[in-house]
């Protein structure tokens, strides 16, 4: 199986094998096991970790729920900025999924933003088991300055990231194609950026098998 995931799949058979590995991984039980609001509350490093990062209300929790097939595993809020802690989920004893606080919520009090965004960035810089950040961006709207800032921070910290466009069901095909092309250019412009941009919808299931396949390539052996 190609270690680089779908981007390095040589043929249809390898792609099918990656997709099947993703299906099998996410068929395993997934459970919440820890939450942290400060660095000293982080669980000890253990299994490989994949974090979901993005602007407030971009759909991180909805995507985690869609990937795991559990409607209420990650709490979904319609109020931007509601998630203020790192939530850790054990996926079948092979991988840890991390649902991160959203960034770029302008209406949050400055003291609150400093607390939870500071935790997020400190985690990204210093977590030895962090294998990749899935950087979520809303497919329906333009790239925001906060997204560009996050990409640069991840690059400076040498943390690999992969862009996932969310809520694709709400974007017109022409706009979605433009967004994907822009996201690919942004990824290429950063040494930490993964070349394959994924397009997804938690509502319709679009892109979910591909994201599962990408993440499965990072999991501990079965």
Q: What is the pLDDT of residue 117?
A: 61
Domain assignment present for residue 221? The answer is no
10-residue mean pLDDT profile of the chain (222 residues): values are 62 90 95 89 94 90 91 55 76 94 61 56 85 96 90 89 96 96 97 96 95 96 86
Other C-beta atoms lying within 10 Å of the C-beta of residue 13: 9
The DSSP output letter for 103 is B
Q: What is the pLDDT of residue 202?
A: 94
Q: What is the pLDDT of residue 143?
A: 94
Give the sign of the dihedral formed by CA 10, CA 13, CA 15, CA 20: negative
What domain count does the chain have? 1
200/207 Cα distance (integer angstroms): 4
The DSSP output letter for 31 is E
The pTM for the full model equals: 0.88
Other C-beta atoms lying within 10 Å of the C-beta of residue 32: 15
Domain assignment present for residue 64? The answer is yes
The residue range of the domain holding 69 is 5-216
Dig out the tokens for 66 from the structure: 């869609």
Q: What is the pLDDT of residue 8?
A: 73
214/129 Cα distance (integer angstroms): 17
Burial of 4 (0-12, 13-18, 19+ CB in 10 A): middle
Domain assignment present for residue 207? The answer is yes
Domain assignment present for residue 222? The answer is no
- The CATH number of whichever domain residue 212 belongs to comes to 3.40.50.300
């Amino acid at each position: 199986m190609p270690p680089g995931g779908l981007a390095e799949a040589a043929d249809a058979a390898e792609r099918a094998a990656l997709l099947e590995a993703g299906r099998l991984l996410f068929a395993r039980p997934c459970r919440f096991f820890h939450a942290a609001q400060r660095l000293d509350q982080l669980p000890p490093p253990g299994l490989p970790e994949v974090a979901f990062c993005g602007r407030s209300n971009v759909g991180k929790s909805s995507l985690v729920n869609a990937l795991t097939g559990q409607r209420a595993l990650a709490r979904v809020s319609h109020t931007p900025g509601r998630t203020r802690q790192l939530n850790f989920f054990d996926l079948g004893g092979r991988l840890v999924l991390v649902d991160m606080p959203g960034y770029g919520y302008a209406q949050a009090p400055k003291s609150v933003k400093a607390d939870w965004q500071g935790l997020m960035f400190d985690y990204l810089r210093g977590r030895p088991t962090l294998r990749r950040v899935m950087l979520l961006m809303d497919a329906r709207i333009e790239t925001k300055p906060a997204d560009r800032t996050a990409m640069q921070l991840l690059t400076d910290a040498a943390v690999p990231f992969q862009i996932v466009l969310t809520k694709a069901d709400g974007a017109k095909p022409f706009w979605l194609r433009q967004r994907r092309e822009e996201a690919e250019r942004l990824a290429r412009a950063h040494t930490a950026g993964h070349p394959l941009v994924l397009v997804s919808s938690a509502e319709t299931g679009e892109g979910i098998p591909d994201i599962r396949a990408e993440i499965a390539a990072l999991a501990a052996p079965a």
